[in-house]
Every structure is written in structure tokens, then in C-alpha cells.
Structure 1
Amino acid sequence: MINTEAPDLSSSPFSRPAVLRPYIPGEALSSRSAAKFAGVTPQTIAAWAEKHKIGRVIQRKLVISRIALQALLEDEQEILSAYLSGDRESPNVRLMYTRLGIELPASQIAAAE
């Protein structure tokens, strides 16, 4: 069951969610691919992107984070909130990258060690 509440970003040092920042090509999904992956329509993905901040517009196209989408689908609000606040270092966020086979940039890995 997907949590219908938007993540709390009030403690975030960012003025906007840190979704797909840094941009990692293997993490990005088109809205159509994200919809197919999640078993919903592209319109639902667009609504989730707006409400839960799981994507952003890049070159006039909505791009969805696989990390954020997976956290949303698994109702992992702690991971989603951490990810959206820019956290790429905590064990649970790093584990999500590993589970999805997405390699973090070396600078992110070095910062976590």
C-alpha cells in the first residue's frame, strides 16, 4: 500500500528536492518506463512525481528516479525522505542503489566512507 502523504522536506537544506541530483543515467526512467515498471499509467506517475517529488523535468521531459520510485512503491518513507533531502550516504539509501544495480559516482562513495 502506497503512503498517500507527501514526504516531509522541511528539514532539507535544499530549496527543492534533490531528486536525480547528481544525475546518474542508470537511475533515470522515462515516465512511460516508470509507469510500466510500477504497473500504473503514465498519468499516475506524473501525479506521483508532483505529489511525492519522485521525478523532475529535464529538457522538457519528466524523468523519474528509480530510487525514489522504488522507495515509494515499498512504502519506505524514511529512505524516500533521506533521498529527497540529498542523502546518498546513509546505509539504507546506499542499499537501495545496490539493490537496483545503480552505481553511485565515486565522489558519493568516497564521501560515505
Structure 2
Amino acid sequence: MSIPTRIEVLTFEFPGTKPAGKFSPVLVGVVGSGNLEVMLEPATSMQCVFHVETSARGFRTIWEAVVRNFHEQHKLSGVVVSINDMGATPAVVSLRLNQAVSELT
């Protein structure tokens, strides 16, 4: 049996209404089985951009729902959110996103 080793790359962009302002990059979590890391960095645009690299292929609609829900809660602008995932559940993704945004305040 062959196990695919390719990583799926997803990008989502949302208009934001709450500028994050100046901040140093924020990193939470670790990449490992069933977990992920989330990095927040300042963006050059006023969009909120999510870049997801995941080992769990075929879950675009779930990823979009999770990051859309996060964005609807926080409405950040001027932020790039990079997610490196190794099979985390949506609940863990939401936890890490909220941990990261709490570091901005």
C-alpha cells in the first residue's frame, strides 16, 4: 500500500475591519501528529490571508468553515495567518488560532 506524502496547500482571503497594527510575528503550537502550528505575521495589504499547508488532503470545505468562523469572530485586517497542520481536528485548529490572536493584545 502506498501512502501519499504530498501536502495540500490552501489559501483563503477575507476583508477585515480591525487592523492588527504593528506587531512581531506570533507562533503557537507545534507541528506533530494530530497538532499544528499557527503563525501570525503583519501583511502588506488590509486583507486577512490564511495560508494552510496540511497533510490531511480533501478537507478544503472544512478548512474554509473553520478559518471563516475565526475571521467572523475577530475581523482582523493586515494579517497573514500561516498554518502548518499534521491532521489536527477543527477544535484544535480553533484553539490554536485563538491562542495566536490572544498574543496580539
> Which of the two has greater strand per residue?
2
Specify which structure has the higher proportion of helix.
Answer: 1
* TM-score, scaled relative to structure 2: 0.30
TM-score, normalised with respect to structure 1: 0.28
